[in-house]
Amino acid sequence: MTSGLLPDASGHRPLLVREPYTQFEERLMIAEVLIHHLDVMRYLCGELRVVAARGARTVSDVAGETVAAIFLETASGAPVEVTGTMVAAGYPARPPDRLEVVGNKASATFADSELHLHGANPRNQRYDSERGYQASFDGAIAHFVDCLETGAPFETNPADNLETLRLVEHAYWAAGLQRLRGHS
């Protein structure tokens, strides 16, 4: 949840100041933001199937959807929900990471840079999100360059990424958003 498309005290929308192209993206919340969440959920839960989705364009001068919910299920039928909004009053302008996984033996919540494990062996772990964020990019670039130089396989492959893109396309279809602004 983020307030990035709500005007700040100066009347500017922080997301449009930081990433002005987003104003004209016809596929916004799902394709630009939730795609990453779908990828993480695939990593954590295995293959997923879109059951239903909803999305809405709530900012008149922004071309794409600014709020979306995607309802999925795992191969065993367990429900998974991925949601987001860019117009959440009271939330920060940049989206904080939040993840909740609920199970019958243990559960986990990641919010405000802290991982909480719930269940028989509860514990907490705090992370430096700013350092970790940059380190993740540095590591990904180093891995990419190393694979180019050595010919080693990439940690992620095109087929895996296409599977996440398939979920994005299914979410747009299920939400009835496959065609925006009169495109055929």
Backbone Cα Rg of the chain: 18
Tell me the residue type at 167.
L
pLDDT of the residue at 181: 47
pLDDT given for residue 130 in this prediction: 78
Q: Which region among 13-17, 21-25, 92-96, 126-130 has the lowest average model confidence (pLDDT)?
A: 92-96
Could you read off the pLDDT of 92-127 as tens digits, one per residue? 888 777 889 888 889 999 988 899 999 999 999 998
- Which pLDDT does position 111 carry in this prediction? 87
3-class SS at 72? strand
Cα 2 from chain centroid? Answer: 12
> Other CB atoms closer than 10 Å to residue 2's CB: what's the count?
20
Q: Quick one: CA torsion of 131, 35, 1, 4, rounded to 10 degrees?
A: 80
What class, spelled out in words, does domain 14-96+158-174 have in CATH? alpha beta
Torsion of CA 71, 73, 74, 80, to 10 degrees: 40
* pLDDT tens-digit readout, 77-91: 999 999 999 999 988
Q: What is the dihedral of CA 74, 159, 96, 175, to 10 degrees?
A: -60
Decide: 120 and 133 in contact? Cβ < 8 Å: no
- The model carries a pTM of 0.86
Give the pLDDT score at 155. 86
Whole-angstrom Cα distance, residue 87 to residue 8? 12
In percent, the amount of the chain with pLDDT more than 90 equals 73
